[in-house]
Amino acid sequence: MQVTIENLTKKFGDVIGAENLSLDIKDGEFVAFLGPSGCGKTTTLLMLAGIYKPTSGTIRFGDTVVNRLSPRERNIGMVFQSYALYPHMTVYKNIGYPLKLKNMQKKEIDERVNAVANTMGIGDLLDRRPGQLSGGQQQRVALGRALVKEPDILLFDEPLSNLDARLRLTMRGEIKHLQHDLGITSIYVTHDQIEAMTMADRIAVMSGGHLQAFDTPEALYDRPKTLFVAGFVGNPPMNFINVEVSASNGHFVATNGNMSLDLSKERGEKPATAGNSVVMGIRPEDIQIAPDGTVPAEVFVVEPLGRENLVDVRIDGESILLLADTKADHKRGDSVKLKFNMNKAQFFDSKTGKSLLWA
């Protein structure tokens, strides 16, 4: 089912939940709504579910405008962060509840509940109550309940946030796999950018009720269109440095105090026209500590991550994060030289926050 959102706005009194959202979700696509808490992603999801009525704008499922349809008329399945299992019902009844509401025959309910339970690997738990299940099992039941009525659209509201890290990793893979197999259009709300990056075909990045960007994970990572997206997507986050980009004789240079970095024509040409109000963004993996580096810095903190070290260095007191080989064994207080991979550098207008490269 294709989902089209046009100029969607939701206000709670004077408070804006979401404003002027427009996006197209293709049939069978897995889309993540990503943003910090309070950005309007859950508000938008609840409008899609039919719990909230939009203040203005339209939502289309296929060709049907669903604005005025109640949740039960939308044929959606939803998975909640709290699982939202009915505590007084057994697992069997929980999963069978949507079918019972459709006045389905007992025999058919039985078949479908058992089929879904077996797919989810909870066939042996059908007589239990939610209180007797672990978090992971509860999440499977919730997923089963969402799937049992064969919905046109699946909505996920931070479904993995309450699970421990290891289980989250497993469930991430399982949900992605399941969604791919079933081909159900899915919308997944999360504040965890790793979840969004790993699972979604496309990510809608939101902040302050506005859509910041809507693109594939790779595009958001490599070609962020706004400062917010650049800072929010990626972990550890991108470094930002105020620079002045200037051009002389076809050579482009980004400078800040004593620091001077050469740029290629592709990266430097557009920022050079923006004068001195430029923010340069560079990801931690694009900075190396190297003997032939050009920027002197001092090691402030080294955080071992196992595979690599996250190193916080200071350039004139400014904090820069970078990833370094664990073998290098840097110590607090070491003087080092940094080498920037300027072909990965991003440039933003510091006033508008818009990218100077991918406008």
Partner 1 sequence: MEKKAPDSRRNILRANLTAYGFLAPAGILVIIFFLIPVLLIIYLSMTNLATTNFTTNVSQMEFVGLENYAILLRDQFAGKIFFNTVFYVLVTLAIFNVSLALIVSLLTMHIPRRAGFAFRAIWILPRITTATVYIMLWRRLAVEAPYGIINQFNTLLNQPTYNYLDARPWEFVIMANGFIGVSFGMIIFTSAIESIPKDLMNASLVDGSTIMQRIRFIIMPLLRWPLLFVVTYQTLSLLTSFEQILLLTNGGPGLYDTEVWSLTAYHRALSNYFGNAQWGYGSAFAVVLVIIGVVLAVIYMRVFRFNELVAEPKIEVL
**Residues in contact with partner 1 by the rule CB under 8 A:** 46, 49-51, 70-72, 76-78, 80-84, 86-88, 97-98, 101-102, 145, 149, 155, 157
Confirm if 52 and 43 have CB atoms less than 8 A apart.
yes
Q: Report the side by side order of strands in the sheet with 3-12.
A: 15-25, 3-12, 56-61, 64-65
Nearest approach in angstroms of CB 246 to partner 1 is 55
Nearest approach in angstroms of CB 173 to partner 1 is 24
Place of tokens 């557009």: 270
Beta carbons within 10 angstroms of residue 216's beta carbon: 14
Question: What is residue 96's DSSP assignment?
Answer: H
Nearest approach in angstroms of CB 12 to partner 1 is 12
- Nearer to partner 1 among residue 106 and residue 332 (C-beta): 106
- Nearer to partner 1 among residue 22 and residue 82 (C-beta): 82
- Nearer to partner 1 among residue 80 and residue 300 (C-beta): 80
Nearest approach in angstroms of CB 91 to partner 1 is 15
- Nearer to partner 1 among residue 84 and residue 253 (C-beta): 84
- Nearer to partner 1 among residue 87 and residue 131 (C-beta): 87
Confirm if 242 and 250 have CB atoms less than 8 A apart.
no
- Nearer to partner 1 among residue 83 and residue 347 (C-beta): 83
Confirm if 222 and 283 have CB atoms less than 8 A apart.
no
Nearest approach in angstroms of CB 281 to partner 1 is 37
3-state secondary structure of 169: helix
What contacts 205, CB < 8 A, 6 or more positions away? 34, 35, 211, 212, 213, 214, 220, 228, 229, 232, 233
Nearest approach in angstroms of CB 302 to partner 1 is 38
Beta carbons within 10 angstroms of residue 160's beta carbon: 25
- Nearer to partner 1 among residue 3 and residue 203 (C-beta): 3
Distance separating alpha carbons of residues 48 and 189, to the nearest angstrom: 12
What contacts 302, CB < 8 A, 6 or more positions away? 309, 310, 311, 312, 330, 331, 332
Nearest approach in angstroms of CB 244 to partner 1 is 51
Question: What is residue 3's DSSP assignment?
Answer: E
